[in-house]
A and B are shown apart, each in its own frame.
Chain A
Amino acid sequence: MSSDQLVDTDEGAQEITDRSLVPAAERLREAGAVLRMSEAAAAELEAREPSEDETMIMNMGPQHPSTHGVLRLMLELSGETVLRTKPVIGYLHTGMEKTGEQLTYLQGPTNVTRMDYAAPLFNELAFSMATEQLLGVELPPRATWIRMLMCELNRAASHLLFQATNGMDIGAISMMLYGWREREEVLRVLEKITGLRMNHNYIRPGGVAADLPDGWEDDVARLIEIIPPRLDEYDDLLTGQPIWRERLQGVGVITTDEAIALGATGPILRSTGHAWDLRRDMPYLAYDEVEFDVIVGTYGDCFDRYAIRLNEIRESLRIIGQILEKMPGGDYRVQDRKVTPPPRARIDESMEALIHHFKIFTEGFQVPAGETYAAVESPRGELGCYLVSDGTAKPYRMRVRGPSFVNLQTLPHMMRNGLIADAVAVISSVDPIMGEVDR
């Protein structure tokens, strides 16, 4: 790159700065005045601000156990109270969008699956859906339903992980072990189907990697039998327990308007009472053919977000039960010679099939030029994939809109005027996955 094309990159530190150096308007924004405020309200807020020598700026993370990876928060504290927060991210940035431009469409899912590593199948799904839109291929019904089954299993696993880490963060250590135990049950089924516990590379453009193995019905049926009683145990252990409620209720409150203004989606938005779920409101796959409820909260606090995720596991299991009954027969991938490698048996007898197989896996297939956006409801919110194709076998631009990345912006707002101990509960209730935040 020539030097004149370079834009000056010294834009200052990604840090929270001293109170005296920050203009008032900026402080208000950091304080979470995201909606239009009257001048009187702003002046009142200003008047209540403490002076600089009463506050302390403290660093939390990136190696803090409750930050779910490498999230760093700069907090301005007045005693135990959090006044301002600034999340600093990028510690896990590995340039996956750039990497995506170097990989063919068939290799793409191996890359995107590592973004939200707690819900990898959703990344693969969004990428595959965008690719299929560009290709203009229609999936066979079985492929659609297998995808739906896998995604709901994955959603349950992801929310069980949340139950575990949320319990750990708040001090319910036994919950951590229970959540992990149940998640492992789900992962065992995923492993049997895909071959891997995580980062499956199972959903691919054109369908899924392999058909469901023999006996999958029994495994899945066992799962939907053993998980619900354990969820009821969680209810006994946590939901009605006064210490748990005391710890979460009224903590990290956000309203619908604020959540929408900050771009929040998923359980954070639903906790405010706004019923928005892409599965119901903009159906993809075959979600319009199954019955489920969109779980919403009332107060937009940490407790609502906990309860929403707990009940979403139940709804996922309900969907899985319907999928068990309705799973159609047929092919598990689209039979389009351009996209689909020939079956293994054909390779042994036909030279052309061997060449075809080789070309698809070395060169990939060409995707018509165009641009498209596909979105799915991941356990954390709207996961979108914006693909631009220039007609070659590799995406010209692959953009993944990670819900955790956008949801993190609600942190300064939800943590303001709370205690440091509550900050831990708030971070946990956002459930950010740093692999997706930093990509």
Chain B
Amino acid sequence: MTEHTNPEDPVGTAREDVHESHGVPATRSLGQDVLHPPRERLRELVQALGDEGFDLCVDVTAVDYLAHAARPLPEGVTAERFEVVVSLLDHAGKRRVRLRVQVPADDPVVPSLTHLHPGAEALERETFDMFGIHFEGHPDLTRILMPEDWEGHPLRKDYAVGAIPVEFKAAT
């Protein structure tokens, strides 16, 4: 087993080789390609990657880094509370790439990818439902898993886990 923990560098930033790809910082995470585009450039980047062969949008999701802000990011990328994570797959080249987009908490808006990948529609709706991140240009941004009148976004870290107090009584 490889030893990951180094007191100087607990999360392993230094080991990852940071380079540039498509004009945005790129890293490798455990052998997987990761790009860190700013959100303004997301759509343009997905388009460019699409022309290169990344034809399937596998997944759109998000992570709320409220309780784990100190994560390794390449230089020039400011850590924000939310991260939208887009996974793309290239069928012909048999490769994957992951885009991690920083999204600030006070303005949680990201351009929608539905014009490039119609299949991202339900995934973006789910991300909106669970994190409250708005996808600009999405044709039908409504809740998908939670009821329409639900308040809050359950996968946010400041959204409490529900619990029902159970009273145990002695058997009579």
Chain A residues in the interface with B (C-beta under 8 A): 1, 5-7, 9-14, 25-26, 29, 34, 89-90, 93, 95, 97-98, 102, 133-138, 260-265, 274, 276, 281-282, 336, 338, 368-373, 375, 382, 384, 386, 388, 390-391, 396-397, 399, 401, 405-406, 408-409, 438-439
Which B residues, 30 to 88, have Cβ-Cβ distances below 8 Å to chain A? 30, 32, 55-59, 61, 63-64, 67-68, 71, 85, 87
Task: Report the minimum CB–CB distance from B159 to chain A (whole Å).
Answer: 7
- Top 3 closest pairs, chain A to chain B, by CB: A263-B119, A368-B4, A34-B118
Determine if B119 and A264 form an interchain contact, defined as CB atoms under 8 angstroms apart: yes
Contacts of B117 in A (CB 8 A): 261, 263
Contacts of B161 in A (CB 8 A): 98, 102
Contacts of B126 in A (CB 8 A): 405
Determine if A29 and B159 form an interchain contact, defined as CB atoms under 8 angstroms apart: no
Contacts of B139 in A (CB 8 A): 25-26, 29
Task: Report the minimum CB–CB distance from B154 to chain A (whole Å).
Answer: 6
- Give Cα A390–Cα B153 distance, bound, in whole angstroms: 22
Task: List, sorted by A's number, 30 A–B pairs whose CB atoms are closer than 8 Å.
Answer: A7-B132, A7-B134, A9-B149, A9-B151, A11-B143, A13-B148, A90-B143, A93-B146, A97-B130, A98-B161, A133-B30, A136-B2, A263-B56, A263-B58, A263-B117, A263-B120, A338-B1, A368-B4, A368-B12, A370-B4, A371-B29, A373-B87, A386-B59, A386-B85, A390-B67, A399-B63, A401-B59, A405-B126, A408-B122, A438-B145
Sample of 20 more A-B contacts, CB < 8 Å, known A260-B56, A368-B4: A1-B158, A6-B132, A7-B153, A9-B149, A12-B142, A29-B118, A90-B143, A90-B147, A136-B4, A136-B30, A262-B119, A274-B91, A281-B94, A369-B11, A369-B71, A370-B12, A370-B29, A386-B61, A396-B68, A409-B118
Task: Report the minimum CB–CB distance from A224 to chain B (whole Å).
Answer: 30
Given the interface pairs A1-B152, A134-B30, the reply to whether A89 lies near B144 with Cβ below 8 Å is: yes
CB of B5 within 8 Å of the partner chain = yes
CB of B108 within 8 Å of the partner chain = yes
Q: Which A residue sits closest to B115, measured CB to CB? A: A36
Q: Which B residue sits closest to A133, measured CB to CB? A: B30
- Contact residues of A: prevailing secondary structure: loop
- Give Cα A391–Cα B142 distance, bound, in whole angstroms: 34
Contacts of B155 in A (CB 8 A): 97-98, 397
Determine if B108 and A7 form an interchain contact, defined as CB atoms under 8 angstroms apart: yes
Q: Which B residue sits closest to A258, measured CB to CB? A: B118
- Give Cα A386–Cα B140 distance, bound, in whole angstroms: 26
- Give Cα A102–Cα B59 distance, bound, in whole angstroms: 23
Determine if B11 and A405 form an interchain contact, defined as CB atoms under 8 angstroms apart: no
Chain B residues in the interface with A (C-beta under 8 A): 1-2, 4-5, 10-12, 29-30, 32, 55-59, 61, 63-64, 67-68, 71, 85, 87, 89, 91, 94, 96, 98, 105, 108, 117-123, 126, 130, 132, 134, 139-156, 158-159, 161
- Give Cα A93–Cα B126 distance, bound, in whole angstroms: 12
Contacts of A368 in B (CB 8 A): 4-5, 12
